[in-house]
Structure 1
Amino acid sequence: MTSTTSIPSAPPFASLATRLSPLSIAALLCLALIWGLSIPITKLALESMPPMTLTALRFGIAVPILFLFALGHRRLPLRALPQVVALGLLGIGIGQVAQTFGIVGTSASVGTVISAVIPVLVVVFAALRLHQPVTGWQRIGLAAAFAGIALVASGQGDGSTAGQTTALGVLLMLISALAIAFYYVWSVELTASHGTVTVAAWSTLAGFLALLPFTGWEIAQTPFRVEPVAVAAAAYLGLLVTAAGLFLWLWLLRTVPARIAASVQFLQPLFGIAASAALFGDKMGLYFALGVVLVLLGVGLTSTTLRARKGPDCDAPPERKVVPTSG
C-alpha cells in the first residue's frame, strides 16, 4: 500500500495576493476615478454646451479611437449588424442622451448616486433575459437601492443640494440607468459571438450617427459659444471615460478576479460625490447620506450574493462578462 501525503491548499488570500499587483490596484483606482468623474465633468460642460451637442461630440471623439483598437479583432458579420445597430441606439441614443439631459435637471451628486444603481439593474435584466436566478438578498438589494434613490432625490431642506434636482431630471436619470443596464446585458450575448471591442466600436458608431440629425437641429436652434472647458470635457468623456475606460476594464478582467474588478462599482459614486462637492459645492445632508448608504448596500447585496452562488474563485470567461463602457 502506498501512502500519500496531502498538500494543504494555499489560503484564498494568498491566491488573491498573487493576482493583485500594485499595478492592478492602481488601475482599479484609476478606473474608478475616471468613471466616477464622468457625471460631474458632464455637468461642468453643460454650463456652456447644449446636451445633444455635448453627447455627439463625446462619441464623435470616441468612435475613431474604438475602431483603431478594433483593428486586428474579429470582423462583424453583416447578419449581426441590425442587432449591433439596435444596441447602439439603445445604449447611446436612449441611455447616454437621457443621462445627459437628466444631468441638466439634477445636481451632480444626485446624478452620480442614481447612476450607481446600474449594476443592480443589470442583475434584474440578467434574470429576465439570460434566465439567471435572483436570490432573496438580491431582491432586498434592489429595494434598498431604490429606497436610497428616493431619499437622495427628496433631500429638500436637509442641508443638501438635492433641492436643485427636478422630478424630470430624476426620471431621465432612471430611464438612462434602465437603458444602459439592458445595454450591458444585451451586449453579453453579442460580444460572446463577435468580440467585445468589435461590438463596442460598431454600436458606438451607430449611436453616434443617430445623434447627428438631432444635434444639427439643436445647434441651429440653440445659441451657444464653444468654450474650451466644454471641449476639454467632451474630450475627457470620449477619450478617457468611453474609450480608455473600456480597455482598462478589459485589462483588469484579464488581470484580477472579476469580483475584485467589480469593486470599482463602489468607488465610482464616492469619487463622483467628492468631485461634485469640489466643483459645485454640493452638500451632503442627512437624507442624502442615508440614501448613498442604501444605494451602496443595494449594489453590495446584489454583487455579493452572486459571487457566493458562483463560488469564490469561479469567474466567467471574459467574453461572457458584462463590460460597461461608462455609466
Structure 2
Amino acid sequence: MTKLGLESLPPLTLTAMRFAVAVPLLLIFAVGRHPLPRHAWPRVAMLGVLGIGIGQVAQTFGVAGTSASVGTIISATIPVFIVFFAALRLKQQVSGWQKLGLLAAFAGIALVAFAREHGAAMLSDTTAGGAICVLLSALAIAFYYVWSVELTTAYGTATVAAWSTLFGFVALLPWAAWEMWHVPFHVTTQGVSAAVYLGVIVTVAGLFMWLKLLRIVPARVAASVQFIQPVFGIAAASFMFGDRVGPSFVVGVALVLVGLALTMVSRNEVGNRA
C-alpha cells in the first residue's frame, strides 16, 4: 500500500496524510482513559519522534528507494532487534532454541525475498540510501516497541499510543509542509486511499495490537509474529504488481513457520521435553 501511495504522493506528504487520519482516531480512544502526567510528556514525545519522525519516515523513504525484495529482507530484522533490545532493556532471556528459531525464520524470509524471478532487475532498483533508510527504520521501530512497554504499563496503551503519535505527527508537519511546497505532486484517489488504509489499519489497529501484545507476552513471542509480515507482503505484491513466486516461496514460508514454533517455545517447555 505504501508503494501504491508513493506513485502519486512524495514520501513525507504520504506519511503526514497517514498520521493526519490516525491521530484523531487514536485521541478518541484515549479520551477518558488514563491521563498523561506532565512529567511523562518528554519521554512520550521522544517516543513519538523516534517511532514516526525517524522510524516511519525512514521506512517510507526506504520503500521508495529499494526493491520489494531488498526492503523486505532488511525490514525482517525488526524482530531480531526487538528481541535484542528487550534482552538489554527489559532483561528478558532468550534460549538457544529461541535463537535458532529467529535464525530459521530470518533464513526463510531471505529465501522468500530473493528467490523470485527477475531478481537482478529487482536488485537494480535499490539504492544504498534506500537500504540505509530501511535499516534505520527497523532499528527505530524495534526500539520504539520495546521502549513503549514501560510507558504503556504505567499510563495505558491507548494513552501512550495517542500522545506519542500526536507528538511525532507534530514534529513531522514542518518537514511535510516544506516538501509539499517544493515537490510537485497530484492528489489522487489511489494516494488518498493508501494514506487512509495506512492510517486506520496499519497505524491505529496495528499499533494498538502491537503495544497490547508486548504488554502481555514476552518480546520474543511478539517479535516472532512479525516474521509473518514479509510473507504476506510479498504474496500481496505478487497479487497487486504481478511479482511471480514459486517453490522457493513455499520453502521459505515453511522455514518461517518452523522458526515461529521454535521462537515461541519457552525455556520450561524445552526443559520438560529434555
**TM-score after normalising by structure 1:** 0.70
Q: Secondary structure at the match of 1:132?
A: coil
Q: 1:216 to 1:251 in 2, by over 3 A?
A: closer
Q: How does 1:45-56 map to 2 (within 5 A)?
A: 45-56=5-16
8 Å CA contact 2:81, 2:142 repeated in 1? yes
State which drifts further: 228-237 or 258-267. Answer: 258-267
Q: Secondary structure at the match of 1:92?
A: helix
Residue matched to 1:135: 95
Residue matched to 2:198: 237
Quote how far apart the aligned CAs of 1:101 are: 0.7
- What CA deviation, in whole Å up to 9, does each residue of 1:152-198 have, x standing for no partner? 77669865763233343333222211111111110000011010100
Quote how far apart the aligned CAs of 1:135 are: 1.8
8 Å CA contact 2:69, 2:114 repeated in 1? no
Letter in 2 for 1:103: V
Letter in 2 for 1:102: G
- What CA deviation, in whole Å up to 9, does each residue of 1:116-165 have, x standing for no partner? 44223211110011111222233334445555666677669865763233
Q: How does 1:49-68 map to 2 (within 5 A)?
A: 49-68=9-28
8 Å CA contact 2:72, 2:230 repeated in 1? yes
Q: 1:121 to 1:175 in 2, by over 3 A?
A: same
Residue matched to 1:202: 163
- Structure in which a larger fraction of residues adopt helix: 2
Q: Take 1:233 and 1:278, find their aligned partners in 2: how far apart are those partners?
A: 16
Q: 1:121 to 1:70 in 2, by over 3 A?
A: same
Residue matched to 1:101: 61
8 Å CA contact 1:160, 1:282 repeated in 2? no
Q: How does 1:87-236 map to 2 (within 5 A)?
A: 87-144=47-104, 159=119, 162-163=122-123, 164-236=125-197
Quote how far apart the aligned CAs of 1:269 are: 2.6
Segments of structure 1 that go 5 or more residues without pairing to the other structure are 1-40, 312-327
Identity, in percent, stands at 62
Quote how far apart the aligned CAs of 1:103 are: 0.5
Q: 1:166 to 1:141 in 2, by over 3 A?
A: farther
8 Å CA contact 2:58, 2:137 repeated in 1? yes
What is the total number of aligned residue pairs between the two structures?
A: 271
Matched, 1:271 2:232: yes
Quote how far apart the aligned CAs of 1:284 are: 3.8
8 Å CA contact 2:13, 2:179 repeated in 1? yes
8 Å CA contact 2:23, 2:166 repeated in 1? yes
Q: 1:310 to 1:90 in 2, by over 3 A?
A: farther
Q: Take 1:292 and 1:185, find their aligned partners in 2: how far apart are those partners?
A: 26
Q: 1:140 to 1:304 in 2, by over 3 A?
A: same
Q: Take 1:208 and 1:191, find their aligned partners in 2: how far apart are those partners?
A: 19
8 Å CA contact 2:66, 2:126 repeated in 1? yes
Quote how far apart the aligned CAs of 1:214 are: 0.9
CA RMSD of superposed structures (Å): 3.7
**TM-score after normalising by structure 2:** 0.82
Q: Take 1:127 and 1:263, find their aligned partners in 2: how far apart are those partners?
A: 15
Q: Take 1:309 and 1:76, find their aligned partners in 2: how far apart are those partners?
A: 41
Q: 1:127 to 1:252 in 2, by over 3 A?
A: closer
- What CA deviation, in whole Å up to 9, does each residue of 1:55-93 have, x standing for no partner? 111011100000001112100000000000000011111
8 Å CA contact 1:43, 1:103 repeated in 2? yes
Segments of structure 2 that go 5 or more residues without pairing to the other structure are none
Larger Rg: 1
